[in-house]
């Protein structure tokens, strides 16, 4: 069978290498400008090992409270729409009844 040939993976090193500790300083040139200072290597900050559980608990409680508040607001909107629909329906039935009575009385 024919098998595809996959390309070799390319590995990229993303962490900079620290400069040599005994690097000789570069002398300024005779034109009078200053050469930029070499960037200082700074080790990454150590990762925190113990995080307080209270922070996660507070975020969870806040998320639940927000979800409940949103659910209450959406329910209230749906209830308002339902009440409006019922009111419009009742008004349409009453107007139809009044119009039918008016047309029946004035046909004679």
Total residue length of the chain: 108
Domain span holding position 88: 76-102
pLDDT digits (tens, 9 = 90+) for 16-69: 666 666 656 656 567 766 666 666 667 676 666 666 778 888 889 999 999 999
- Is residue 95 in some structural domain? yes
pTM attached to this predicted model: 0.44
Per the CB < 8 A criterion, the answer to whether 19 and 38 are in contact is yes
With beta carbons less than 8 A apart as the criterion, state whether 40 and 25 touch: no
In total, how many domains does the chain have?
A: 1
97 in a domain, yes or no?
yes
Residue 55 DSSP symbol: H
């Amino acid at each position: 069978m024919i098998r595809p040939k996959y390309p070799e993976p390319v590995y990229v090193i993303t962490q900079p290498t620290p400069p040599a500790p005994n690097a000789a300083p570069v002398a300024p040139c005779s034109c009078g400008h200053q050469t930029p200072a070499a960037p200082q290597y700074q080790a990454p900050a150590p990762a925190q090992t113990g995080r307080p559980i209270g922070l996660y608990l507070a975020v969870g409680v806040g998320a639940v409270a927000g979800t409940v508040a949103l659910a209450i607001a959406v329910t209230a909107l749906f209830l308002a729409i339902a009440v409006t629909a019922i009111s419009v329906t009742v008004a349409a039935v009453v107007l139809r009844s009044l119009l039918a009575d008016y047309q029946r009385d004035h046909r004679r």
